[in-house]
A and B are shown apart, each in its own frame.
Chain A
Amino acid sequence: MNALEVHNLSKRFATVQAVDNVSFDIPEGVVFGLLGRNGAGKTTTIRMMMGIYPPDAGEVKLRGVHVGQEFKDAVGYLPEERGLYKKMKVLDTLLFFAELKGMKAPQVKSRALEYLERFQLLDRKDSKIQDLSKGNQQKIQFISTILHDPEFVILDEPFSGLDPVNTNLIKDMILELKRQGKVIIFSTHLMDFADRMCDHICLIHEGKALLNGALAEIKKEYSNLNVSVQYEGDISFLQNNPIVDRIEDFGNSTGIRVKEERGIQQLLRLLVDNEIVVRKFDAHTISLHEIFLAVAGDDSTEMRNEEVPNV
Chain B
Amino acid sequence: MFNKRTLAVLKREIKALILNKTFIVMTILFPIIFLSGFGVTALMQSMEGVEDTRIVIVEESPFINVELKRIFDTLDVVKNGELSLKYKSLSRSQLDDFLAQNKNKLLKDSITGVVFVPDQARVKKEIEYYSTNPANFSINNQIRSVVNNALIKLRFEGTNVAAEDVRYARQRTSVGRFKIDEKEEIEEEGSGGIVLAYVFTFLLYMSVFFNGMQLMRAVTEEKNTRVVEVLLSSLSTRELMAGKILGTTISGLVQMLIWLTPAAIFAFLQSTSFSGVFSQALAEFDLNLGLGQLLYFLLNFIIGLVSYLAIFGAFGAMFDNEQEAQQGILPILMLVLIPFFIAISMVINPSSSLAEISSMLPFASIIVMPARMALVNVPAWQVVLALAVNVGLLITVIRISAKVYGVSILRTGKKITLPELFKLLRYQS
Q: Which residues of A contact B (CB under 8 A)?
A: 47, 50-53, 72-73, 75, 77, 79, 81-88, 96-97, 99-102, 141, 144, 154
Contact = CB atoms under 8 A, between A and B. Distances in A.
A100 B8 contact: yes
Q: What 3 A-B pairs are tightest by C-beta distance, nearest first?
A: A83-B226, A77-B233, A100-B234
B26 interface: no
B1 to A, nearest CB: 12
8 contacts: A72-B234, A77-B230, A84-B230, A85-B16, A96-B8, A96-B12, A100-B231, A100-B234
Contacts of A51: 236
Contacts of B280: none
A197 to B, nearest CB: 22
Nearest to B227: A83
A73 B230 CA distance: 12
B229 A81 contact: yes
A62 to B, nearest CB: 15
A93 to B, nearest CB: 10
A180 B12 CA distance: 32
B389 interface: no
B235 A83 contact: no
B230 A97 contact: yes
A53 B234 contact: no
Given A52-B233, A100-B235, A85 B226 contact: no
Given A51-B236, A83-B225, A83-B228, 4 more contacts: A72-B234, A75-B233, A81-B226, A102-B4
A79 B8 contact: no
Nearest to B428: A54
Nearest to A54: B428
A52 B234 CA distance: 9
Contacts of A97: 230, 234
B282 interface: no
B228 A50 contact: no
Nearest to B234: A100
B9 interface: yes
Given A102-B4, A102-B5, A82 B235 contact: no
Contacts of B227: 83-85
A79 B229 contact: yes
Contacts of B230: 77, 79, 83-84, 97, 141, 144
B253 interface: no
A274 to B, nearest CB: 53
B234 A87 contact: no
Interface in B229-251: 229-236
A4 B12 CA distance: 33
B267 interface: no
Contacts of A77: 230, 233-234
B337 interface: no
Nearest to B423: A14
Given A52-B410, A72-B233, A72-B235, A100 B5 contact: yes
Nearest to A72: B234
Nearest to A73: B234
Given A84-B227, A85-B227, A96-B8, A79 B16 contact: no
Residue among A51, A83, A87, A154 with max Cβ neighbours from chain B (10 Å)? A83
A86 B16 CA distance: 11
Nearest to B218: A85
A100 B225 contact: no
Contacts of B232: 50, 52
A99 B8 contact: yes
Contacts of A72: 233-235
Nearest to A99: B8
A15 B130 CA distance: 77
A47 B411 CA distance: 13
Nearest to A81: B226
B225 to A, nearest CB: 4
Given A100-B5, A101-B234, A82 B12 contact: no
Interface string B374-392: 0000000000000000000
Given A52-B232, A87-B16, A100-B235, A82 B226 contact: yes
A88 B235 contact: no
A100 B228 CA distance: 13
Interface string B198-223: 00000000000000000000000010
Contacts of B234: 72-73, 77, 97, 100-101
A102 B226 CA distance: 22
Residue among B5, B229, B231 with max Cβ neighbours from chain A (10 Å)? B229
Contacts of A101: 234
A83 B229 contact: yes
A148 to B, nearest CB: 9
Contacts of A82: 226
Contacts of A85: 16, 225, 227
A5 B228 CA distance: 26
A73 B234 CA distance: 6
Contacts of B228: 83
A190 to B, nearest CB: 21
B288 to A, nearest CB: 44
A83 B231 CA distance: 10
A73 B4 CA distance: 12
A100 B227 CA distance: 13
Given A53-B410, A99-B8, A79 B225 contact: no
B317 to A, nearest CB: 14
Nearest to B236: A51
Interface in B1-28: 4-5, 8-9, 12, 16
Residue among B226, B233, B234 with max Cβ neighbours from chain A (10 Å)? B233
Contacts of A96: 8, 12
A47 B233 CA distance: 8
B38 to A, nearest CB: 35
A73 B12 CA distance: 19
Contacts of B236: 51
A86 B218 CA distance: 11
A86 B8 contact: no
Given A81-B226, A83-B226, A96-B8, A88 B233 contact: no
A141 B229 CA distance: 12
A87 B9 CA distance: 15
A100 B9 contact: yes
Contacts of A52: 229, 232-233, 410
Contacts of B231: 100
